[in-house]
Amino acid sequence: MGIVGECNIQYALHPESLEYCIIEVNARLSRSSALASKATGYPLAFVAAKLGLGIPLNEVQNAVTKKTQACFEPSLDYIVTKMPRWDMGKFQGVATNIGSAMKSVGEVMSIGRTMEESLQKAIRMVDPSNPGFEPKARFETMDALLQELKVPTDRRIFAIAQAMHEKTLSVQEIHDITKIDHWFLRRCENIVKTGHAMEGKSLADLDQDLLNEAKKNGYSDIQIAAYVNSTEDEVRAKRKSFDIIPNTKQIDTLAAEYPADTNYLYTTYHGMEDDVESANGGVMVLGSGAYRIGSSIEFDWCAVSAIRTLRAIGKSATMVNYNPETVSTDYDECDRLYFDELSSERIRDIYEKDNAEGVVISVGGQIPNGLALPLDKAGVNIMGTPAKMIDNAEDRMKFSDMIDEIGVQQPRWRELTSVDSALDFASNVGYPGKCFKITHYLFLTFDATLFELTFLIIKQYLYVHHMSSVELQ
């Protein structure tokens, strides 16, 4: 096509052959371009810019190895899973069917040594998350389950999990309906088989081999605890007694064929040794995780600013995050980047392995803040606002009680669980302001743009209060 530099192509692959059709071509960067760069450690935008300036590939240095050129094709010894984040639940009447049109608001990226490990990580990373590859909001009837498998929506992966966990359909039957390749379905089946092996066992019955298999297949301590009727901390203590701890591995673009000079790391239970030595100190900064509309860029800015400030004052800074479209997951922004889960289990693993001075959770938004209490309980040094104070501010009921206790006025509020209760409360509280007050204060300016805006506000007011347009005149 004569394109020099960046280009992304979307295509459909025939499920039973190598025949494919081009759906769309864009001679530009995309979200997937950023993800591909983070997945391989191969900086696509950087290389594309060099090519656009007329510099050939064999003169562009590989930024990771610093010993090879960009003409070397990336070779990977790990599995990356991309999982989209849907936000369809916020909109009434939205079509949840998934096709070739873009409907995701972002995605997460997980890294593991096997598909099983990487897939379960990704499912936990997406918000709203699930403990792993297991059913979520069960399909009550067989017809509903079959319909979901046949016509995919954002719940399809959980329908597959339900069919496998409950043994209602075989892998072949799932393949016949979904046309998903057998290779992927067999990886999912491996996860489920490990779960079935743990069913009915107690923590005492869980031997080293089965526990090790569960960790290699991506099971979190919380997941395992649910199978053996135990707690996350008890499972953690049990696996550590067996010396089952994750190893730290590098992203090196060339599958360890050449020496790598990189601080781009992930954890896995498949390694025999660590690729890098312990940091032995430094401060961990927790990122914001999956994108949310209107609330992610500022958290990324805060996280990057925290890292840069730590490094400026002479502290070693470690970033933990898993969103490929953020600056915080650029490995050259920090001393160490762990592209991994934001969970109590993983943060404690990294904290203990690197003997960190402390963890900054206040710059990453809701996900890190939600980890405040469990991390504090585990003895992790939380830098900045204490965990108890974070919880007092985060928990609306606790915050409201505290405001009442010190005698500060607050607006009337209520936690509601149904539309009827919300309407009753809204009717009882009422709405601030009156129509004539809005016109009085804003129409005095007589600015054309402001006039149009005010007109829209008034129309909305009339709609909410079921008033006719005659009253507007």
- Residue 293 DSSP one-character state: T
* φ, ψ of residue 146 in degrees (nearest 5): -65, -35
Please indicate whether residue 372 or residue 430 has the higher confidence score (pLDDT): 372
Query: How confident is the model over 275-307, as pLDDT tens digits?
Result: 899 999 999 999 999 876 655 688 999 999 999
Confirm if 283 and 316 have CB atoms less than 8 A apart: yes
Give yes or no for a contact between 359 and 284, defined as CB atoms under 8 angstroms apart.
Answer: yes
Query: Virtual CA dihedral for 129, 134, 136, 142, nearest 10 degrees?
Result: 150
* Averaged pLDDT of the chain: 88
The arithmetic mean of pLDDT across residues 116-121, rounded, is 98
Confidence of residue 441 (pLDDT cuts 50, 70, 90): very low
CA pair distance 318, 334, nearest whole angstrom: 6
Q: Is the model more confident about 112 or about 102?
A: 112
C-alpha to C-alpha distance for 223 and 272, rounded to whole angstroms: 24
Main-chain dihedrals φ then ψ at residue 286, nearest 5 degrees: -95, 130
- Mean of pLDDT values over 302-319: 96
Distance between CA atoms of residues 457 and 459, nearest Å: 5
Helix (H, G, I), strand (E, B) or coil at 319: strand
Contacts (Cβ under 8 Å, ≥6 apart) of 313: none
Q: Grade residue 432 by pLDDT with cuts at 50, 70 and 90.
A: low
Q: How confident is the model at residue 258 (pLDDT cuts 50, 70, 90)?
A: low
pLDDT at residue 442 in the model: 46
DSSP 99-144: SSS---SEEEEEEESSHHHHHHHHHHHSSS--SSSS--S---SHHH
Q: From CA 209, how far away is CA 339, in angstroms rounded? A: 27
Mean pLDDT score, 371-375: 96
User: Mean per-residue pLDDT for 264-276?
Assistant: 93
pLDDT mean over 302-321: 96
Q: What pLDDT is recorded for position 437? A: 44
Q: What percent of the chain has pLDDT over 70?
A: 88
CATH number for the domain formed by residue range(s) 248-397: 3.40.50.20
10 near 100, Cβ under 8 Å?
yes
Q: What's the pLDDT score for residue 387? A: 94
Per-residue pLDDT, averaged over 379-406, amounts to 93
Q: Lowest mean pLDDT of 13-17, 272-276, 431-435, 457-461, name the range.
A: 431-435
Torsion on CA atoms 346, 349, 353, 356, rounded to nearest 10? 70
Give me the amino acid identity at 150: K
User: Do residues 371 and 347 lie in contact, with contact meaning Cβ atoms separated by under 8 Å?
Assistant: yes
At 436 the pLDDT is 43
Question: How many Cβ atoms from other residues are within 10 Å of residue 364's Cβ?
Answer: 25
What is the spatial distance between Cα 89 and Cα 95, in angstroms, rounded to a whole number? 10
pLDDT band per the 50, 70, 90 thresholds, residue 260: low
Angle between the 142-150 and 171-178 helix axes, to the nearest 10 degrees? 50
d(Cα 390, Cα 376) in Å, to the nearest integer? 11
Q: Specify the pLDDT at position 295.
A: 58
What pLDDT is stored for residue 94 in this prediction?
82
**Average pLDDT of the segment spanning 133-148:** 94
Angle at 457 between CA 455 and CA 458, to 5 degrees: 65
Contacts of range 457-461, beta carbons closer than 8 Å, 24 or more positions apart: 461/435
Question: Cβ-count burial of 330 within 10 angstroms (0-12 exposed, 13-18 middle, 19+ buried)?
Answer: middle
Q: For the chain, which residues make up each domain, given as ranges?
A: 248-397, 431-472
